[in-house]
Amino acid sequence: MPSNKTDAPKESQVAGTQTPDRANTNAKLQSLEDVRSDATGQALRTNQGVKIADNQNTLKVGERGPSLLEDFIMREKITHFDHERIPERIVHARGTGAHGYFQSYGNHAALTKAGFLQDPEKVTPVFVRFSTVQGPRGSGDTVRDVRGFAVKFYTDEGNFDLVGNNMPVFFIQDAIKFPDFVHAVKPEPHNEIPTGGSAHDTFWDFVSLVPESAHMVIWAMSDRAIPRSLRMMEGFGVHTFRLINAEGVSSFVKFHWKPRQGVHSVLWDEAQKLAGKDTDYHRRDLRESIETGDYPEWELGVQIVSAEDEHKFEFDLLDPTKIIPEELVPVTPLGKMVLNRNPDNFFAEVEQIAFCPGHIVPGIDFTNDPLLQGRLFSYTDTQLSRLGGPNFHEIPINRPVAPNHNNQRDALHRTRVDKGRASYEPNSIDGGWPKETPPAAQDGGFESFHERIDAHKIRQRSESFSDHFSQARLFFQSMSPNEQQHIIKAYSFELGKVEREHIRAREVNEILANIDLKLAAAVAENLGLPAPTAGTVQVKQMSLAQSPALSQMNHPGTIGIKGRKVALLVANGVDGASVDKLVKALEAQSAKVLLLGPSSAPVKTADGKALPVDASMEGMPSVMFDGVWVPAGQASLEALGKSGLAKHFLLEAYKHLKPMGLAAQGKTLLDALGLQEDTGLLLGDDQPVFEKFFEALKQHRVWAREAAAEAIPA
CA-based radius of gyration for the chain: 29
Same domain, 228 and 298: yes
pLDDT at 378: 95
pLDDT at 249: 96
pLDDT at 468: 98
Beta carbons of 520 and 509 less than 8 angstroms apart? yes
In a domain, 23, yes or no: no
In a domain, 123, yes or no: yes
φ and ψ of 553, to 5 deg: -60, -25
How far apart are the C-alpha atoms of 362 and 114, rounded to whole Å? 6
Q: How many CB atoms lie within 10 A of CB 500?
A: 11
In a domain, 326, yes or no: yes
Helix 634-642 × helix 644-655 angle, to 10°: 90
Q: Is the peptide bond between 87 and the residue preceding it cis, with omega within 30 degrees of 0?
A: yes
Establish whether 405 is a catalytic residue.
no
In a domain, 640, yes or no: yes
CA torsion 456-459-461-463 (nearest 10°) is -40
In a domain, 412, yes or no: no
Give the bridge partners for 159, in sequence order.
154
Per the structure, the count of domains in the chain is 3
Active-site option among 92, 264, 486, 700: 92
Same domain, 125 and 257: yes
Same domain, 536 and 613: no
Same domain, 213 and 92: yes
φ and ψ of 647, to 5 deg: -65, -40
Same domain, 533 and 573: no
- Torsional sign, CA 599, 601, 604, 605: positive
Of the candidates 119, 581, 111, the residue with the CA atom closest to the CA atom of residue 303: 111
Q: Which of 355, 370, 398 is the last residue in one of the domains?
A: 398
In a domain, 639, yes or no: yes
Q: Which of 398, 420, 436 is the last residue in one of the domains?
A: 398
Beta carbons of 92 and 354 less than 8 angstroms apart? no
How far apart are the C-alpha atoms of 360 and 151, rounded to whole Å? 12
Same domain, 256 and 139: yes
Give the bridge partners for 297, in sequence order.
338
Q: What is the CATH number of the domain that holds 172?
A: 2.40.180.10
How far apart are the C-alpha atoms of 475 and 473, rounded to whole Å? 5
How far apart are the C-alpha atoms of 417 and 409, rounded to whole Å? 9
In a domain, 440, yes or no: no
Q: Which residues contact 626 (CB under 8 A, 6 or more apart)?
A: 228, 561, 564, 565, 566, 658, 659, 697, 700
Q: Is the peptide bond between 434 and the residue preceding it cis, with omega within 30 degrees of 0?
A: yes
Same domain, 580 and 546: no
Of the candidates 298, 312, 295, 335, the residue with the CA atom closest to the CA atom of residue 252: 312
Beta carbons of 689 and 657 less than 8 angstroms apart? no
**DSSP-derived 3-state class of residue 609:** coil
Same domain, 179 and 86: yes
DSSP string, 406-474: -S----TT------SS--SSS-STTTT-S----TTSTTPPP----------EE----GGG---SHHHHH
Domain hosting 230: range is 60-398
Establish whether 83 is a catalytic residue.
no
In a domain, 325, yes or no: yes
How would you classify residue 323: left for phi > 0, otherwise alpha for psi between -120 and 50, otherwise beta? beta
pLDDT at 17: 36
Same domain, 596 and 533: no
Same domain, 580 and 528: no
pLDDT in tens, 586-613: 999 999 999 999 999 999 999 999 999 9
Same domain, 515 and 607: no
pLDDT at 464: 97
Same domain, 385 and 512: no
Active-site option among 57, 108, 159, 165: 165
Q: Which of 350, 370, 398 is the last residue in one of the domains?
A: 398
Beta carbons of 632 and 661 less than 8 angstroms apart? no
Residues of the chain with pLDDT under 50: 1-21, 25, 28-29, 31-32
